[in-house]
A and B are shown apart, each in its own frame.
Chain A
Amino acid sequence: MARITDLRPVHVAGIGLHPYQYPTETSYIELGLHAVREALADAGVPWPSVEAAFVGTARLGMAAGVPMLRYLGMTGLRVSQVENASATGSTAFRQAVAEVASGLADVAIAIGVDKALGKIAAAGTGITPISPAADIPFARYALLTERYLAEAGYTREQIAMVAVKNHGNGALNPYAQRRKKRTLEEVLAAPAVAGPLNGLQITPQGEGAAAVIVMSEDAIQRYGVARDRTVRVAASATTSDQAFDGQNADVALTVSATNAAYEEWGGDPKDLDIVEVHDAFAIEELLFVEAMGLCPPGAGAGELAAGSFNIGGRTAVSPSGGLLAMGHPLGPTGLGQIAEITRQLRGEAGDRQHPGAKTGLAHMVGIGPVCVVHILER
């Protein structure tokens, strides 16, 4: 079976974002168009050059795409809507990359846009859960955090340090929903939500938009896109639940998806300069950096404390601020990660630039569970 990179090369050529923010009355059309126009200007290509659009939204409901994109001029491009829970934007990106890799298009765009609306499909399954309060994600993660604290011997302070780092990164990101540096004392003192998790260690509800334009080599030449600002897609991997016997499914999926991505890329996880992780809850960053091989199991908190995952450390983990600080509006989130990695690899990340960044990995898990991983390289 072919991998995306066995087909023709695909490059990220343009990125755009509407800053993530707390819910407002702003139309999703305005959020989405802002990101698309910024991405077009960034790539330096006109809207009619885009042949296919994949619109990622988890909460808007059906038919979000054309009613938004028509205001860029009705060019008749192919439009599809993509939904994959938290991994919606990541999956829209994969679809756009596949469209160009396969030769179906030379220029495609992935757009993530969401507002804090709607509900998940679980309401329509007809399955009654064991406990009505057990299915809320923060209860699940509180139980996981308590177990991890006991099993790995970690302290609440060590887990809170994830939030301290990511709030610090978010403070430097003009697109982040939370832009305030926080001390360990502030993170620990935030209002309790569940177990050791509190308001500053859980991603906020929000809205926003992100857009990424991908192109073939041909299109980059044809439109005269600056080569030193394009970033190659080096791997694309996605998996869904196959865990039994009490494994944490998100961790198991992260192992299998990142291993598949490393094999496709041909590199070692320790050589990654940038990693953007699904850190909806602070505990997740430690679980996932260990699962993806950035450090041995149980070593995550020590590496974090030693500064290995800071901007300027060995691997900058979530320099955008991650889901904890940049935010997690769902549809845009995975594309916001691609935008951040692209910005870092271009050397255009300003105050939060990780020196010499050449490779980056974007990781999202979503309800299902599903996991989507991409590796970008200069």
Chain B
Amino acid sequence: MARPTEETAPEPPRIWEKTGGGAVLIGWACGQCGQRGLPRQYFGCERCGAPREDISESALAARGVLRSSASIERHAVWPVPFLMGEVELDDGPIVHSFLSAETAWEPGMRVAGDADDLSREPYLIFVLEEKPHGTHH
């Protein structure tokens, strides 16, 4: 994917982490009603209004199903063109993020934030999910 230049790249924020089980997105969870969401925030629960004391950090697996993709041809900061995807995470929330240019995408394809790619990229990029090597998934 296209990368911003040194001058245009903002400081990478902590929005994801590499774990043994693959990349996770850092979101929030409500201790009162169980609602989870992205991106992380500590202001209160969007569903039940529980205060910040009830809001904790929650890791959501960076994998899910592609709902839509679009090529962005004009942008103030990022070199164009680049691909954006709308992904319904297995853990619930729908996110918009960069999408790898190396796949001919169709809605319904499985995607994952690749941990190795993520460790080099400042921002989340979804790639085609690899088929599991084991017998379970």
Task: Give the number of residues in A that approach B within 8 Å (Cβ atoms).
Answer: 27
Q: Please name all residues of chain A whose beta carbon is closer than 8 Å to the beta carbon of B82 when the two chains form the complex.
A: 133
Q: Among B25, B69, B78, B88, which residue has its beta carbon within 8 angstroms of that of A133? A: B78
For A146, what are the chain B residues with a Cβ–Cβ distance below 8 Å? 68-70
- Contacts A194-B73, A244-B47; A128 near B39 (Cβ below 8 A): yes
Task: State whether the Cβ of A132 lies closer than 8 Å to any Cβ in chain B.
Answer: yes
Q: With A133-B75, A143-B96 known to touch, is A127 a contact of B41 (CB < 8 Å)? A: yes
Q: How far is the CA of A367 from the CA of B67 in the complex (A)?
A: 22
| Contact indicator A139/B77 (Cβ below 8 Å) | no
SS class of chain A's interface: helix, strand, loop or mixed? Answer: loop
Return the chain A residue nearest B75 by Cβ: A133
Q: A146-B70, A192-B73 are in contact. Are A129 and B39 (CB under 8 A)?
A: yes
User: Bound complex: CA of A134 vs CA of B14, how far in Å?
Assistant: 16
Report A132-153 residues with CB < 8 Å from chain B CB: 132-136, 139-140, 142-147, 150
Smallest Cβ-Cβ distance to B9: which chain A residue: A132
Answer whether residue A195 sits at the interface, using C-beta atoms and an 8 A cutoff. Answer: yes
Contact between chains at A140 and B96 (CB < 8 Å): yes
How close is B44's CB to chain A, nearest CB, in angstroms?
12
* A130-B97 contact given A194-B71, A195-B70, CB 8 Å threshold: yes
B70 touches A246 (CB 8 A): no
A244–B107 Cα distance when bound, in Å, is: 21
Q: Does B74 contact A (CB under 8 A)?
A: yes
Hey, which chain B residues are within 8 Å of A147, CB to CB? 67-68, 86, 107
Q: Which residues of B contact A135 (CB under 8 A)?
A: 96
Task: Known A147-B107, A150-B107, A246-B88; judge A131-B70 contact (CB<8 A).
Answer: no
**Shortest CB–CB separation between residue A131 and chain B, in angstroms?**
4
The docked-state distance in angstroms from the alpha carbon of A333 to that of B39 is 31
Q: Which of A129, A145, A191 contacts B70 (CB 8 A)?
A: A145
- For A130, A134, A192, the residue with the greatest tally of chain B CB atoms inside 10 Å of its CB is A130
Chain A residues with CB under 8 Å of B84's CB are 131, 133-134, 139, 142-143, 194
Residues in A whose Cβ lies below 8 Å from that of B71:
192, 194-195
How far, in Å, is A368 (CB) from chain B's closest CB? Answer: 13
A226 within 8 A of B: no
- Taking CB atoms, residues of chain A closer than 8 Å to B15 are 128, 130
The answer to whether B88 touches A131, judged by C-beta atoms less than 8 angstroms apart, is: no
Given the contacts A142-B84, A143-B84, A246-B88, A130 and B96 also touching, CB distance less than 8 Å: yes
Is the beta-carbon distance between B70 and A142 smaller than 8 angstroms? yes
Once the chains are docked, how many angstroms separate the CA of A133 from the CA of B1? Answer: 13
Contacting residues, chain B, for A192 (C-beta < 8 A)? 71, 73-74
Which single member of B40, B41, B47, B68 contacts A143 (CB below 8 Å)? B68
Interface string of B44-88 (1 = CB under 8 A from A): 000100000000000000000001111111110110001011101
Q: Which chain A residues lie closer than 8 Å to B98 at the CB level?
A: 131, 133
Interface status of A305 (Cβ within 8 A of chain B)? no
A128-B39, A130-B25, A132-B10 as given contacts; A142 in contact with B72, CB under 8 Å? yes
Nearest-Cβ distance from residue A297 to partner chain B, whole angstroms? 18
Give the CA-CA distance A196 to B68 in the complex, in Å: 12
B86 and chain A: residue at smallest CB distance: A143
Whether a CB of chain B sits under 8 angstroms from the CB of A193 is yes
B125 CB, nearest partner CB in chain A, Å: 9
Q: Given that A147-B107, A150-B68 are contacting pairs, would A139 and B73 also be in contact in the complex, using a CB cutoff of 8 Å?
A: no
- Indicate if the CB atoms of A132 and B70 lie closer than 8 Å: no
Q: Is the CB of B124 within 8 A of A130?
A: yes
Task: Determine the chain A residues whose CB is within 8 A of the CB of B72 once the complex forms.
Answer: 133, 139, 142, 193-195
A130 to B124, CA, bound (A): 7
How far, in whole Å, are A128 and B71 apart by their CA atoms in the complex? 23
Question: Does B38 belong to the interface (CB within 8 Å)?
Answer: yes
- Determine the residue in chain B with the shortest Cβ distance to A198: B73
- Interface flags for B7-20 (1: CB within 8 Å of A; 0: not) read 00010011100000
Minimal beta-carbon separation of A205 from chain B (angstroms): 12
Nearest residue, chain B, Cβ from A246: B94
Asked whether, in the complex, the Cβ of A144 is within 8 Å of the Cβ of B68, the reply is yes
Pairs across A and B, CB under 8 Å, 26 listed: A127-B40, A128-B14, A129-B39, A130-B38, A130-B95, A130-B97, A130-B124, A131-B96, A131-B124, A132-B10, A133-B82, A136-B75, A139-B96, A140-B96, A143-B84, A143-B86, A143-B96, A144-B68, A144-B86, A146-B69, A146-B70, A147-B67, A147-B86, A194-B72, A194-B84, A195-B70
7 residue pairs, one from A and one from B, having the closest CB atoms: A195-B70, A134-B96, A142-B70, A147-B68, A128-B13, A131-B97, A192-B73
Residues of A within 8 A of B (CB): 127-136, 139-140, 142-147, 150, 191-196, 244, 246
